[in-house]
Structure 1
Amino acid sequence: MNIVSNLERSVTFCPDKPAIIFEDTPITYKELHLKVCRLASRMRSLGVKKGDRIALFMANIPEFAIVYYAAMKLGAIAVSLNVMLVKNEVKYILGDCGAKIIFVGEDQACQVPTDDPDALEHIILVEGDENNEHHISRVYDTGVETFQALDMADTDPAVILYTSGTTGYPKGATLSHFNVVANVNSTNYHIRSTKEDVFHLFLPLFHCFGQNFIMNSCIKKGATLVMHKRFEPAPVIEAVKKHKVTMFFAVPTIYIYLLNMKDEEIDFSSIRYFFTAASVMPNDVANRWRAKYGIPINDGYGLTECSPFACYNHDFNYKPGAIGHPVINVQMKIVGEDGKAAAPGEWGEICIKGPNVMLGYWNKPTETEKTIIDGWLHTGDVGAQDEDGDFFIVDRVKDMIISAGNNIYPAEVENHIYAHPAVNEVAVLGIPNDVKGESVKAVIVLKPGEKVDPEEMIEFCKERMSRYKVPKYIDFVTELPKSATGKILKRILRDEAAD
């Protein structure tokens, strides 16, 4: 077993088909595989062997796929770094995983630490001046035509993906070849993809969503991947029409942005499948999208530690507001505070068991033991299961607000606020209260040209939810802080509220 077999299979069946289209330039499966083989050969000459860690610190460019699959050929472990990391954060991750080589993009090169001669053996550039002796392009003109991939065991590590975490240092979720292959097979089954599909990728490849759910699933099917460095509305929308994209993947904040664009600016007629994940999709947004395009935004649930997906809510069995049923060979349950299974409709922690669950956290056995208990991954997410077996997610346990002894889930409050016609985006959080423990605060971005005062918004909330859930504080802002994946960063809002 080896993840790179996904690519090798597609090379055999469709060598001349575009595997990746980047900036309107196609790379065929044959061309992609040739570069992978030549890089793998060069990496072996640099001393890379099975189990060595290879860091990828770059934006969405074809070289990400080339380095990734070359590492898989060698049985090395790919460690993808968030492109927004700064030097101290990069230094910690490289030290924690013990990376041997780092492949770095032009914009990220300045954040690679060079003050520790024992840390990295090689720094290889993937963008910029191709005359630089350390540029990746210098390996492509070697005579190697093929490279035999190592056969890996089910439990051999394939990738390390560092979770952002809210406290302390990030943890390296370690996924095996079996984890990734199982999740990719499940993904393609559930989204019913074919080799004729055109996948759209603008979500970051350093994230499990982009890397496994989109890139690996596309390559496994022999489909075409239209790749962008990042989400930029105009080029993304233009590419949908030009390349007849059929599979569209985005986080809720992007769907909200697209809903606010003029109809004449968008042609999504080629798309047969929309999907979202990474954060809770507001019901109002999902309903507006379906009313406008006639196709639901299929929803899913998962996390990096699950390779990433565990649950799907799809159009052939779509239930509004749900995250659906577990994927093939995966079990899910809701556990109450007493550690016992919760009854239907009762809230509790979502736990997951199956071939998608990670091996553990790299170099952190204690954290692993706390997270994976008797094979069950304890997610830290609050959810419930209804009588039909559908699962629902409310929020992260860490985001839950406790006010005067009442548990308040921000996503529930946000859903109600999204129903206000003037609201574009909202983030609800708890802020310290000396009497109640915490008070509810809503930070809101209004749609262009809209005006609402705080008192009006509070009255709107009172009509729709229990009094203890109604925000005490309302702030209107021009934008909300977001991560590279489009998630709203509530920790920054909490820090700002504490100042």
Structure 2
Amino acid sequence: MNVASIFSDMPGDRPCLLFESAVSSYAEVRAAAAGVRARLEAEGVGRGDFVALILPNGPDFVTGYLGVLSLGAVAVCINPMLAAAEIAFILADSGCRLALAEGEVAGWLSLSGLRVVDAGAPGGGGPWSVEDVPDAHPAAIVYSSGTSGRPKGVMLSHGNVAFTARSKVRYMGVTGADRLLLFLPLHHCFGQNAILLPGLFAGACVVLQRRFDRAAVLRSLRADGVTMVFGVPTTFLALEGRIAPADCPAVRYWFSAAAPLPLEVEERWQRHMGLPIHQGYGQTECSPFATYNHAHSLRRGKVGTAIDGVELRIVDPVDGRELPPGEAGEVVLRGPNVMLGYLNRPDDTARAIRQGWLHTGDIGRLDAEGYLSVEDRLTDLIIVGGRNVYPAEVENALYAHPAVAEAAVYGVADPFLGEEVWANVVLKPGAGVGAQELEALCRSSLAAYKVPTAFAFVDALPRNPTGKILKRELRAAAARPSAQDPAGREPGAAPGVGLETWVRDWLGRHLNLSPDAIERDRAFAEYGLDSVLGVALARDLAAPLGRPVDLTVVWEASTLAGLLARLRETGAASAGACAVPAAT
């Protein structure tokens, strides 16, 4: 079936999207998607053509996605916050015919010569119609960072996507009366396939937000009748202690995925809120739903059993031998959720899918009842606030500096983000470079959440007898209580430097902006400061202030003026050069 056909029979007067206080009915969303389809057809787009969706969260992404799929074309979903070089690589790798984009992104894409269609332009497209395609026809390509340092396009079929949406509806119990809160990025498989499409398949209303903003989330929970909430572990850490059952009277369901949820957080949430945080397991390569921790027999600390239609095994990562319950090994799975493969990468596909089994690269174990716990990774993948970072991609950026002889990038456990990115660097003899210069180099070509938060300059990297860098040793050393932060941590303010100047410089460096361009009353989010960078700024503020601050203070304040005022109110700023000036 064509996934877009889900709209064909939905009652037109039923609310479909709630976005910034505006409600769009299923009939209105159908009409807008038909308009996108008509504009694409006028550009010559047809069955099998690749169309880039470089759009932020909003109704335009939803109607653009459905308009593309209705033609039998393929939606190539790209994070609009990626660096220009990263977007350019994906466009070239996928061979997109044109892009659906808006704002500044649409402007520079047009200048680059790519044909751009305004996703939000008004215009009727006639009656809603859908091209019939087989289940194996590609529906969407979602890019994830590759082990070689180049992003890989995960090809998901209409069958993959429909299977996941139906399974989610069944296991989560979604009905047409539900309101699903969606602030996770729609360009990501989680937002698309595990929240948006299940909501639409059930005829529910999707309460859509641009991004995670704690204050906006709390307002919505109180005012919008939200019944189901989906997040990553960082979401629940950010809400914990600031929410009570009375703040979300209609919520009946909480769900976390994309990264391990600490058991302590899971247990505290259950005690305080009276409802569990449900969990599942999957990857983009399996659409991304493979296991579910069932409400009728919830197991804390586990991610559930295989969903119907999916087979799950634990195998020896060396010889592929299936292991008995209780033994740790690589998680492998097969079923209608497994991707078609990686776009233009047959060798990578062959390594990932062997004899029909997807090798996940995750280490886990099954208990006697078939419940899965995920404990480690075979790969060196880093997960920062639910976002994947492959070290090789960051290392490639570091190797672009002429002073760098070797680089090893690895993840270090972080109680708020799950992990943060650290880098150990060996310099060439006689060469010199500072942490800030390497940071700036990375920021010029990588999305902000991929940039190392700390650099250590070392004489050598640990290796095994075959010469492979032992990143497990680097992670273990960083986890030891006696371990010191690498030398590249954010420095304190220089004598005589005010805190406002320090914050402006920090924002300018991390967002590739002139410090003078930061307006005191403009929301940080408008400059591209996401939740991961917000935590990083809060953590780094400890240096000029001489004491730690609440890691959520940047989200609470939301503007430069608000941040300075909040720090002054809490007495976090010390007297002297770094005293917080009064807002003007």
Q: TM-score, normalised by structure 2?
A: 0.68
- Determine if contact 2:39/2:117 at 8 Å carries over to the other structure: no
Sequence identity of aligned pairs in percent? 36
Counterpart among 370, 385, 389 of residue 389 in structure 1: 370
Where relative contact order (Cα < 8 A, 6+ residues apart) is larger, the structure is 1
Counterpart among 58, 75, 82 of residue 55 in structure 2: 58
The offset of 1:247, in angstroms, is 0.6
CA distance in structure 1 between the aligned counterparts of 2:244 and 2:202, rounded to whole angstroms: 32
1:153-174 CA distance string (max 9 Å, x none)? 1111110000123542100000
Counterpart among 271, 277, 294 of residue 257 in structure 2: 277
CA distance in structure 1 between the aligned counterparts of 2:98 and 2:288, rounded to whole angstroms: 25
The verdict on how the C-alpha distance between 1:425 and 1:29 changes in structure 2, with shifts beyond 3 A counting, is closer
Aligned to 2:502: none
Query: Larger deviation: 44-53 or 470-479?
Result: 470-479
SS in 1 for 2:281: strand
CA distance in structure 1 between the aligned counterparts of 2:294 and 2:188, rounded to whole angstroms: 22
- Determine if contact 1:254/1:486 at 8 Å carries over to the other structure: no
The verdict on how the C-alpha distance between 1:303 and 1:107 changes in structure 2, with shifts beyond 3 A counting, is farther
Structure 2's unaligned 5+ residue stretches are 383-409, 425-459, 465-469, 491-505, 511-527, 534-584
The reply on whether 1:125 has 2:105 as its aligned counterpart is no
CA distance in structure 1 between the aligned counterparts of 2:108 and 2:378, rounded to whole angstroms: 33
Superposition CA RMSD, Å: 2.9
CA distance in structure 1 between the aligned counterparts of 2:207 and 2:261, rounded to whole angstroms: 24
The verdict on how the C-alpha distance between 1:66 and 1:428 changes in structure 2, with shifts beyond 3 A counting, is closer
Aligned to 2:333: 352
Q: Which amino acid aligns with 2:269?
A: W
Correspondences of 1:146-157 after superposition (within 5 Å): 146-157=127-138
1:250-269 CA distance string (max 9 Å, x none)? 000110011132659x7122
SS in 1 for 2:97: strand
Q: Which amino acid aligns with 1:246?
A: T
Correspondences of 1:9-158 after superposition (within 5 Å): 9-10=9-10, 14-109=11-106, 112=109, 114-115=111-112, 117=113, 120=114, 122-126=115-119, 136-138=120-122, 140=123, 142=124, 144-158=125-139
CA distance in structure 2 between the aligned counterparts of 1:239 and 1:27, rounded to whole angstroms: 17
The verdict on how the C-alpha distance between 1:41 and 1:428 changes in structure 2, with shifts beyond 3 A counting, is closer
The offset of 1:395, in angstroms, is 2.4
- Determine if contact 1:248/1:271 at 8 Å carries over to the other structure: yes
Counterpart among 296, 302, 305 of residue 285 in structure 2: 305
The verdict on how the C-alpha distance between 1:344 and 1:111 changes in structure 2, with shifts beyond 3 A counting, is farther
Q: Which amino acid aligns with 1:219?
A: L
The reply on whether 1:198 has 2:179 as its aligned counterpart is yes
- Determine if contact 2:280/2:292 at 8 Å carries over to the other structure: yes
CA distance in structure 1 between the aligned counterparts of 2:58 and 2:23, rounded to whole angstroms: 12
CA distance in structure 2 between the aligned counterparts of 1:388 and 1:278, rounded to whole angstroms: 23
Correspondences of 1:93-492 after superposition (within 5 Å): 93-109=90-106, 112=109, 114-115=111-112, 117=113, 120=114, 122-126=115-119, 136-138=120-122, 140=123, 142=124, 144-261=125-242, 263=244, 267-336=247-316, 337-399=318-380, 427=419, 434=462, 437=470, 438-440=473-475, 470-473=480-483, 475=485
Q: TM-score, normalised by structure 1?
A: 0.79
More strand by share: 1
Aligned to 2:550: none
The offset of 1:371, in angstroms, is 0.6
CA distance in structure 2 between the aligned counterparts of 1:304 and 1:394, rounded to whole angstroms: 19
The verdict on how the C-alpha distance between 1:185 and 1:425 changes in structure 2, with shifts beyond 3 A counting, is closer
SS in 1 for 2:47: coil
The offset of 1:25, in angstroms, is 0.2
Q: Which amino acid aligns with 2:200?
A: I
CA distance in structure 2 between the aligned counterparts of 1:400 and 1:24, rounded to whole angstroms: 38
SS in 1 for 2:103: coil
- Determine if contact 1:440/1:471 at 8 Å carries over to the other structure: no
1:414-471 CA distance string (max 9 Å, x none)? 6xxx9xxxx656648897864995244587xxxxxxxxxxxxxxxxxxxxxxxxx855
The verdict on how the C-alpha distance between 1:250 and 1:262 changes in structure 2, with shifts beyond 3 A counting, is closer
- Count of residues in Structure 1 that have an aligned counterpart in Structure 2: 426
The verdict on how the C-alpha distance between 1:348 and 1:26 changes in structure 2, with shifts beyond 3 A counting, is same
The offset of 1:191, in angstroms, is 0.2
Q: Which amino acid aligns with 1:155?
A: A
Structure 1's unaligned 5+ residue stretches are 127-135, 402-409, 444-468, 489-499
Q: Which amino acid aligns with 2:257?
A: A
The offset of 1:339, in angstroms, is 1.0
1:183-216 CA distance string (max 9 Å, x none)? 1111110001100000000000000000111111
Aligned to 1:462: none
The verdict on how the C-alpha distance between 1:55 and 1:158 changes in structure 2, with shifts beyond 3 A counting, is same
SS in 1 for 2:365: strand
The verdict on how the C-alpha distance between 1:18 and 1:400 changes in structure 2, with shifts beyond 3 A counting, is closer
The verdict on how the C-alpha distance between 1:236 and 1:46 changes in structure 2, with shifts beyond 3 A counting, is same
Q: Which amino acid aligns with 2:82?
A: L
